[in-house]
Amino acid sequence: MIVAFLAGRPLGAVCDALLSHGWEGDLSRTSTAALEPLALEALEVPPETLEALVPTAGRFGLDVVTGEGWAVLAGARARLSALAGSGTLPAALSPLVQALGAAMPGDEPNVWRTAHGPVSLDRPVLVGVLNVTPDSFSDAGRWATVEAAVARGEQLLQDGARILDVGGESTRPARPAVVDEEEERRRTIPVIAALARRFPGALISIDTVKAGVARTAAEAGAAIINDVSAGRLDPEILRVAAQSRAGLVLMHSRGDVSDMASYDHAHYPAGVVPAVVGELRQRLEAARLAGVEFEATVVDPGLGFAKTPLQSITLCRQLGALRALGRPILVGPSRKRFIGELTGQPVERRDLGTAAACLLAWQQGARLFRVHEVVPTRDALAVAAGIERIPLT
């Protein structure tokens, strides 16, 4: 008898083992997914629920650790799903089981629908940042003319970007006054129109919180709306996304454009991860009520927005929690303060740190990566995705 420890990423190793024994690809992936180890934390749990949970979890082959008002439940996805779907549980467990079912990660979407066609998510999708503001925290107005922006867009596409994200209003800390709608249009719309003409196969995104700007951008050729307020600041932008059938990125943030990148709203008594998941769930529901199709949405945890460096790091470590929302995950760690805290590097030298953060995010389920410099992240993710994708003999 030979027994081998399936080292490395356990699920990938299990899938490889099943494939080596002749299992079909879809069957091996489905079976492997059922074995995925998950751990969930429950807070504000009543004593009677805790009392019923311990023996019940044991019957389902799950591990549970409890304390006053809280519980951590761990086990294979299949066993947790069986508990969440059971109809023969003590009444005291009903609210917990409902919450458990909502928190379970769903099947990972493999396509994102945009106004100009679907985006396949079977490999990393790079979103190139194209700030056309005179006061960007990173680019310092280098691409503020149409000619410079188009040239930069061409470079980003050549480097491997699939999407160009055009932004005309800075959200950096200590920024100047809010940019009015007409000025933001003046900065972004000519660039979007020029990019759409020059690169008809590229996907263009408008980074804005204003419905009027988003509407004009969609008419000029933008296929995606990237709203850092997720429709909080101008709810009409959700209806614009629905009417234009644009892809919609809903980013978690708090506050308005003037302070969302500060620490003014970085208060999460129950923890930053459950708060971000819960607030993004609310924004997805708002988008649904406005007529946006579920398949058109993407969620972004908003690293660095209303979050301290430690809170952003916590989100990076627990990014997989966003899989419970059932939508593709986009991350934008590019050159953020927490990268600087970890590396000690100034803004202009944080691209390797950004690539490392994106690599870790890929392993936790992120599929879209918004970056200023494409090449370092492109190569890091190509290696990670390639190692996972290439069949072993």
* Per annotation, catalytic residue among 113, 232, 307, 370: 370
pLDDT of res. 136: 58
The amino acid that residue 55 corresponds to is: P
**What is the SS3 assignment for 76?**
strand
Model pLDDT, residue 391 = 57
Q: What residues in the chain have per-residue pLDDT under 50? A: 1-5, 7-8, 393
CB 251 within 8 A of CB 273: no
Listed in sequence order, the residues at least 6 apart from 267 whose beta carbon sits closer than 8 Å to its beta carbon are none
Looking at the DSSP bridge assignments, the partners of residue 298 are 249
How far is Cα 351 from Cα 378, in angstroms, rounded to an integer?
Answer: 11
Is the pTM for the entire model greater than 0.85?
Answer: yes
What pLDDT is attached to residue 393?
46
Tell me which of 215, 327, 336, 337 is the catalytic residue.
Answer: 336
Write b or e for each residue in 59-91: b if 16 or more Cβ atoms lie within 10 A of its Cβ, otherwise e: ebebebebeeeebebbbbbebbbebbeeeebee
Residue tagged 């008898």 (tokens): 1
| 22 vs 259: CA distance, rounded Å | 56
Strands in the chain per DSSP E:
37-43, 63-67, 70-76, 111-114, 117-120, 125-131, 163-167, 203-207, 224-227, 247-251, 297-300, 329-331, 366-371
Q: Which amino acid is at 31?
A: S
Instruction: Identify the CA nearest to 225 among candidates 151, 163, 315, 279.
Output: 163
**Closest by CA position to 356, among listed 322, 297, 316, 327:** 316
d(CA 214, CA 119): 20
- Residue 370 appears among annotated catalytic residues: yes
Q: What is the structure's pLDDT at 4?
A: 47
- 234 touches 283 (CB < 8 A): no
Query: Which string of DSSP letters, residue by residue, matches 307-348?
Result: --HHHHHHHHHTGGGGGGG-S-EEE--TT-HHHHHHH---GG
The packing angle between helices 374-389 and 146-159, to 10°, is 20
- Residue 20 is predicted with a pLDDT of 77
Beta bridge partners of 331: 369
DSSP annotation string for 198-258: H-TTSEEEEE-S-HHHHHHHHHHT--EEEETTTTSS-THHHHHHHHHT-EEEEE---S-TT
The whole-number pLDDT of residue 173 equals 64
User: Is 152 assigned a catalytic role?
Assistant: no
Please choose, from the candidates 283, 285, 219, the residue with its C-alpha nearest in 3D space to the C-alpha of residue 246: 219
Listed residue (390, 384, 373, 391) closest to 131, CA to CA: 373
Residue linked to tokens 């209806």: 239
Q: Would you report the helix, strand and coil content of the chain in percent, each value rounded to 5?
A: 45, 15, 35
Distances from the Cα of 314 to the Cα of 213, 285, 346, angstroms:
33, 25, 22
Give the tokens for residue 314.
Answer: 């916590």
Q: What are phi and psi of 129, to 5 degrees?
A: -75, 130
